Amino acid sequence: MSGLSTARLLQRHFNGGVTIYAKDLPPNTTSNISGAHWSPTTVFDPGSTSAKFNEQFLKACRISNRSFQLLVGAEYGVRWIDTFILYRNEPGAGDELPGGNDLYPGIEIHRDPDHYFGSPYVKQFSTMLIEPSIYLAALLRDFYIAGGRVVVREFRSREEIMRLPEPVVFNCTGLGARALSMIRN
């Protein structure tokens, strides 16, 4: 999912001219049988980043959120879904959802364990659910229509990647990252 999504973003930015190198294509990928819901994730400690970085991250969250909102519907397999987070203690004002509360419509705090999973506090909100098999097929179709090229190929070394004719390469392995980490120099 990350590779096709990135390829489409690059196509829109550079008016086509994008090549995808992939070992397999949908439906023969792990992403095709996974589940997904929209929510920013991070691999950094927000307390140790600069204000500029945090601002860029929040901007990226908003761009991503809006991009997926534009895909809501049967054609791309994106829909809104109620989501629940269970808490032992009442969530405070600083308990922001990833990317900011304004990205999630209908936030409510429930204090009724008999009706909400037996938990004393439940935060309910809406976010987007993505059906990967539908989403990937639609993205691949759009990629081809926009002039994209796909090369089915497995890379066995970093040197093979370095010999590609493209001046810029994005590594979007997603769930395939484990195999890539096994490549030895």
CA distance 86 to 98: 16
Q: Is the confidence at residue 178, as pLDDT, over 60?
A: no
DSSP 73: B
Cβ 163 vs Cβ 153: under 8 Å? no
User: Which among 132, 39, 139, 133 is positioned nearest to 81, based on CA atoms?
Assistant: 39
Q: What is the largest CA-CA distance in the chain?
A: 61
Going by their DSSP bridges, the two strands 108-110 and 19-22 should be labelled as unpaired
Are both 108 and 89 inside the same structural domain?
yes
Judgement on whether residues 7 and 72 belong to the same structural domain of the protein: no
Query: Phi-psi bin for 117: left (phi > 0), alpha (psi -120 to 50), beta?
Result: left
Q: What is the pTM of this model?
A: 0.81
Domain match, 51 and 120 both: yes
| Same domain (yes/no): 59, 120 | yes
Where helices occur in 93-162 by DSSP H, the ranges are 132-145, 158-162
Q: Please check whether residues 18 and 41 belong to one and the same domain.
A: no
Q: Which of 139-143, 166-170, 172-176 has the lowest mean pLDDT?
A: 172-176
* 139 plus 154 within the same structural domain: yes
Q: How many domains does the chain have?
A: 2
Q: Which residue, chain included where needed, has tokens 């519907």?
A: 73
The model's pLDDT over 98-155, given as tens digits with 9 standing for 90+, comes to 999 999 999 999 999 999 999 999 999 999 999 998 999 999 999 999 999 999 998 8
Same domain, 140 and 93: no
List of long-range contacts for 106-111, beta carbons under 8 Å, 24+ apart: 106/82
Mean pLDDT of the chain: 87
Digit-coded pLDDT (tens) for 50-65: 999 989 999 999 999 9
Domain housing 91: 36-130
90 and 15 part of one domain: no
Q: Clarify whether residues 157 and 94 are in a common domain.
A: no
Domain boundary among 130, 152, 168: 130
Which of 130, 146, 161 marks a domain boundary? Answer: 130
Distance CA 151, CA 118 (A): 51
